[in-house]
Each structure stands twice: as C-alpha cells, then as structure tokens.
Amino acid sequence: MTEIKIYNTKARAKEVFEPIDPKNVRLYVCGPTVYDRAHLGNARPVVVFDVLQRLLRHVYGAEHVTYVRNFTDVDDKINATALARKEAGVAGTLEELVHERSNETIDWYLHDMGALGAEEPDEMPRATEYIAPMISMIEELIAKGHAYEAEGHVLFAVESYKEYGALSGRSVDDMIAGARVEVAPYKRNPLDFVLWKPSSDELPGWDSPFGKAPGRGRPGWHIECSAMSLELLGASFDIHGGGNDLQFPHHENEIAQSKCAHPEGSFARYWMHNEMLQVEGKKMSKSLGNFFTVHDLLEQGVPGEVIRFVFLRTHYRKPMNWTEKKREEAEKTLRKWRQFAGGIVAMGGPDAQVVAALSDDLNTHAAITRLEELYKSADAHVFRKSAELLGLLTPELGQWFDGNSAPEADELVEYAISLRTEAKLAKDFARADAMRDLLLSAGVIVKDTPEGVTWEKTSNFDASKLEGI
C-alpha cells in the first residue's frame, strides 16, 4: 500500500500516516460560518482538503473514507446580517431571517465550491442540528471540573487542562498577549472561553440546564466542532484540518474541551493547516481594493478549474499569491491539457510519480510539475487519470473549454514559436527572424528569457495570419 506522509502541526514534523482503522479513515475539516459569500481565502482549504480526501480514497478505497466538513450556522455575524435585513423592512421574525440567511449562504457556498471542483463531503453537519450533543458535552465538562457557570455563561477553565497550548506551541503569556480574548469580570482566567451564553428571545436559542434560572441560550463557537466530530467520527479520529489562522484559539480550544470531556479518546491524531492567501503580493483587504469572492471571479468569467489550478501550483503549507499573471498561465496550460486529453474517458490508474508527490505531504506543486512532464509524452489515459486525482480535467469542470476556438489559436502560436526555436538552433537566423515577424504581425509578442520563451497576445491578435505555416 502507498505510504502517505503528513506534516503534523502538533508534532512539528512530517510523519508517516497510520490510520486508526484502514477500513474507516476519518477526516474532519472546519467549514465556514455562513453569513456571506466565500472569499478567495476561504476557498483554499476547501481545495487543499478536497485533494487530500481524493488521495485517501485512492489509497484506502472510496468506501473506507469518511470526510466531514461542518457549517457554523449560529453566530453573531449571521445574526447581524439578519438584523440588517429586518431593519431594512424584510418580513419575518429575526430568527426566521437568521435561518433564511444561513440557508441562502450555504447554497451559495456549495455552488461556488462545486465550481472549483470540490466534491461534497460525506457529512456536512450544521451546528444547529447538534445542540443536544453540545449541551451534553458541556454538562460532562462541568461535572469533571473543567468548566464553570458564571452570570448565565458556561466557560471552559483553561488552567484545568495542563497541555493547553501544545498545538500552537505558545506559552500562556504569549496566548494572552496575542489573543483577542473577551474581557469579562466573570472569567477566572483571561483565556477561559465560552461554551454557552445567554440568547435573547428574538435571536436563535435553545433551552438549557445552565444558569441560576435555566433558560434560553446558544453555544460558543469552539464547542460546535468538538460535538459534531464526536457524533460523526468518534472520540478518536485520524486527521483534523483547517487554515493556520484556526490553530489558536479555535483548534487549541477544541483539543482542550474534547480531551477533557472524553479522556479515553485521542481526538485528532494528525493536524494539517494550510497557509494563507495574498493577492498580488498583499494581504487581501477591502481597503486595498483587492478583496474578492469566488463568486466575483466566476462572474468575471474566470473558470473554476483555473482557480483550482492556481491554488494547486503552490504547496498548501506555503503562502499562496494570487496574481493575474498566474491566472493567465493557468488557463493557457489547462487549454493545452484539455486539447490533448479532454476528449477521452480515462481508463486505468494514475501515474505512480504523481501519486508519490501527493503522498509526500500533499505536494501538489510537484504533482503538477510531473503532469507537465507527462503532457504529450505519455498515454493520454494515464495523463488524464493523473490530473483527475488532483481534481483537474474532470468532465464537470470542462464546461468553459471550447476545443475548436481559443485552444486552436494557442496551438498555432505554440507551433510557430517551436519553428522559430528550431530555426535558431539550426542557426537559420533568417528563418527565425521571419517567424518572429510573422508572430508579431499576428499580434503575438515573443520574449526570450533565461527561463525560456514566453509570449503574450496583443489587442490586435489575429490567429488567421498564422494559418498555413
């Protein structure tokens, strides 16, 4: 069986992946808080862990993998968007508007992530469907001395868990200094975090046994993932994933409350975190004008497959920089690949080196480099099957591609450039110059760089001038 290696954040090292049960490999990934459209940074972990679950299914069998990704559908941000709608005159109670907003945003999310080729997980639990297990876990934590009630809230007592901070590698002082912790007089420790809090009659809430006068409340964010993963994957499961911005406090808090409520379990054995995303070398920000959603790009005509390809060119543990140049290069490459292998129904298995690259801590960059080597130098079936393992060249993502239009023109350009290169190698400089002039007349600028030949179309590009070469 293929050996998979994973960089385990908790161990700070790459480790051989050994599932608890090879017949039941379990993966949990933190999903979105559904208050608005998913921006480009939200999409990166979706694509990263989609490739991981594809690899796991390839190695262990599709029926032996359970992939869970949750929806947080009870949150202050969701409440705020619903309140804004109500103040704008939208009919319905505030709770109804919250529910309506959550459903709408979940539909958007699944559509946009599907456009990137992300397969839907086996389970997509909503936090509001698991309130009873959350209450049960909170009661266990109180009974075991790991949580306490204060002014209608229930808080986890961080000092009761001696290993707190092991995942992120931070000291308590560093965590207090760097955390945006809520300052509240009823907290015993600044790092203590909310498991349950009061809720008004208008906002979503559930009856609970907490408080002097038990009443309406709602869960804190961190308890949601602990309860849902317990219900769907058990007290011990294999991999927990998410963006590295979730290491602290979210994942740190998940570990603490899960291990304290169920000390018989190991919770997640391996932790995987993807790095963040930038746009044109800068942090994505509305104030900088470089903030956009996946939906924005799709509406602008950027194919979802192109977005996915740009993501996968960078290793998941490295910061990813989205640029217009990368988008153009990705589309150009995918056009060539689909021209070569897009029309076949792939048979057989993927290339062994592509599988090996993905098995080495999900090295998608190396896998794509290998695909570039395989392009037109291997059986089209092997090439396409290998690309499909990364979620590329799938039929579902091919709607954007018209094999009889732009790709044909690009192929003419590439052919003309290859003739120019051959002429230069043969020292037939007159012919090389003639090919350069022909390309220029067709609206193609060719540049010789240390890395190789590059080209770009101008606004007066006319492929017909290259026909007949």
Is 30 annotated in some ligand binding site?
yes
- 270 neighbors 6 (Cβ within 8 angstroms): yes
HSE-up (13 A, CA, CB side) for residue 47 = 32
Q: What is the Cα–Cα distance from 469 to 467, expressed in whole angstroms?
A: 6
260 is in an annotated binding site: no
- Calculate Rg over the CA atoms of the chain: 26
Residue 320 to residue 278: CA distance in whole angstroms: 6
Please, are residues 200 and 94 in contact by the beta-carbon 8 Å criterion?
A: no
Three-state secondary structure call for residue 1: coil
Residue 225, annotated as binding a ligand: yes
Take residue 234 and report the two structure tokens written for it: 């058990």
Distance of CA 85 to the CA centre of its chain: 29
Phi (first) and psi of residue 321, to 5 degrees: -110, 110
236-243/25-29 β-pairing: parallel
CA torsion angle for 58, 63, 66, 72 (degrees, to 10)? 100
| Residue 254 assigned ligand-binding role | yes
| First vs last C-alpha separation in the chain | 50
Cα separation, 440 vs 458, in Å, equals 9
Q: Is residue 454 within a helix (H) or strand (E), and if so which, with residue range? A: strand 452-457
The alpha carbon dihedral of 258, 259, 264, 267 has a sign of positive
- For strand 452-457 and strand 444-449, is the pairing parallel, antiparallel, or unpaired? antiparallel
Positive/negative CA dihedral, 263, 264, 265, 269: positive
**Among candidates 328, 465, 361, 320, which has minimal Cα distance to 51?**
361
d(CA 17, CA 268): 12
- Annotated binding-site positions: 30, 225, 250, 254, 286
- Annotated binding-site positions for Zn(2+): 30, 225, 250, 254
- Annotated binding-site positions for ATP: 286
